[in-house]
Amino acid sequence: MARSASTRKTASSGRDGNRRTTVSSRSDGDGNHVHNEILLALPRAESEAVLPKLELVRLKLHQVLHEPGETLKSAYFCNSGMFSVLNVMPDGKSVEVGLIGKEGFSGTPLVAGFRTSHTRTVVQAEAVAFRVDADALRAALAKCPQLERQLNRYGQLLAVQVTQIAACNRLHEVNERLARWLLMTQDRVGSRDLPLTQEFLAQMLGTRRSSVTISAGTLQAAGLITYTRGKVTILDRRSLERAACDCYALLTRQVKEWQSQNA
Ligand SMILES: [Zn+2]
């Protein structure tokens, strides 16, 4: 069950124009529920040490959180919605290599003591996150061994995704990749309605827009999804799983296997 956090709301707007909310405790109140699984896994003492360092931010669709080469000023515990991790080439082309939902966190290099990002993180579906300043995170990691452990474990899970998606982008057909991507997105967003444009989907899958149109049309004709301008609705998840390449099942199995290993 999600713990809730009572809040003290600040009067000011955030750096990015979002209303900011400072989380001062996790007791019940008029506060914001913590859905992020890393935060929920913390023992009470660590949770009480970490939550006051976080501020709740509402993030807009396509908002960039981190850019390659830039200093990581903040990290984000995703609380709802989804982030995409993109590999960006010098000519500006980019492809998605990871997806982050409420199970995850953007800013893993900070956990290893690095100060810059080598990928772009962009908000994929309107999201709410708990933001923490890099210095505050470093201070928390020094005092909170379970936080450090959870973030290290998550870093490994993200690395598994990156290696699988790299293989997927090279080896599998666009319609299989699209099905895999829709399943991963639904797992994170928690809704059968996914706000997506063809252009953005093409960028995520590293393919041409026309290929996305054809693949989405194929899935729609088979009754698996409906696709209108700017929105995909998943109608038949089981069939979508069958239409996806092996990557979705492999990733799901690996995550379950590692989550069962607590040594
Ligand atoms: Zn694949």
Please tell me the predicted confidence (pLDDT) of residue 263.
59
Q: How far is the CA of 240 from the centre of ligand 1 (A)?
A: 13
Q: How far is the CA of 29 from the centre of ligand 1 (A)?
A: 44
Please tell me the predicted confidence (pLDDT) of residue 205.
84
Q: How far is the CA of 97 from the centre of ligand 1 (A)?
A: 12
Q: What residue ranges of the chain have pLDDT lower than 70?
A: 1-31, 263
Q: How far apart are CA 196 and CA 219, in angstroms?
A: 15
Residues with Cβ–ion distance below 5 A, ligand 1: 168, 172, 245, 247
Q: How far is the CA of 192 from the centre of ligand 1 (A)?
A: 21
Q: How far is the CA of 36 from the centre of ligand 1 (A)?
A: 27
Strands (DSSP E) contained in 17-73 are: 19-23, 32-33, 55-59, 64-66
Please tell me the predicted confidence (pLDDT) of residue 176.
95
Q: How far is the CA of 206 from the centre of ligand 1 (A)?
A: 13
Please tell me the predicted confidence (pLDDT) of residue 31.
66
Q: What is the largest CA-CA distance in the chain?
A: 54
